[in-house]
Amino acid sequence: MNTPPTTPVSTNSDAAEIAKFEAAAHRFWDVDGEFKPLHRLNPVRARYVQERCQLAGARVLDVGCGGGLLAESLARAQAQVTAIDLAPTMVETARLHALDSGLKIDYRVESAEMLANAHAGRFDVLTCMEMLEHVPDPEATVAVFARLVRPGGDVFVSTINRNLKSFALAIVGAEYIARLVPRGTHEYDRLLKPSEIARFARAAGLDVVDIAGLQYDPVREQCSLTSDPSVNYLMHLKRRAVAS
């Protein structure tokens, strides 16, 4: 008898947050469903990564890969992609979609901490989109990212700022008025300011290379990069090279 996959134990994960995404896994690739904003955001996020590092032939890790949206974009850019998530049904959805798309991606139901124990310094590039605001200890997670990439390697994260404007637009507006994402997707107290991630990064041996805002227009259903990180934003970090 086949047994369903179980979520591996992680000291820095939230079972309730994982359950939110597990419940919606079968709808992940519905481009007109609740994940529509992610499908609109993804080309901009993928281009941001591609323009700032070498992807062809690079060993890339996508942390919190969900149903595989960004992982597939990275694979199409000729990267050697490993993608991890703690939601087993999401990972299975990603595997099936990659198979249908003819893409080779190493999907794993595994935490970043577990992977770092066996593969420290293995990756040239690490991406983590819309996940840091869902973990109990984002500072520890950023420290793990620094362990996973090689010296000189690149780390890309995206998340939501914490201020009155982001509360009004990303939570009240997006979840309760426009209903772009399900209610309860984000908790205000867990949102992260760029200065906080920058502090976590410096402590872990990562330098901030760039910060860019992400703007989503729900009327036109278009996403663009801006110089304003007050709501959604992307950060490019780089691990410090080992001194000779």
Q: With a cut of 70, which residues of the chain have pLDDT below it?
A: 1-11, 175-180, 243-244
Residue 175 confidence (pLDDT):
63
**Strands lying side by side in the sheet with 206-217:** 106-109, 80-85, 59-63, 123-129, 149-160, 232-239, 206-217, 222-226
Q: Give tens-digit pLDDT for 205-237.
A: 999 999 999 988 877 878 899 999 999 999 999
Residue 7 confidence (pLDDT):
47
Residue 205 confidence (pLDDT):
97
Assigned architecture for domain 18-239? 3-Layer(aba) Sandwich (3.40)
Residue 43 confidence (pLDDT):
95
For residue 128, give Cα distances in angstroms to 3, 155, 167, 183, 208. Answer: 29, 8, 22, 22, 15
Residue 2 confidence (pLDDT):
42
Query: Which sequence spans correspond to the domains of the chain?
Result: 18-239
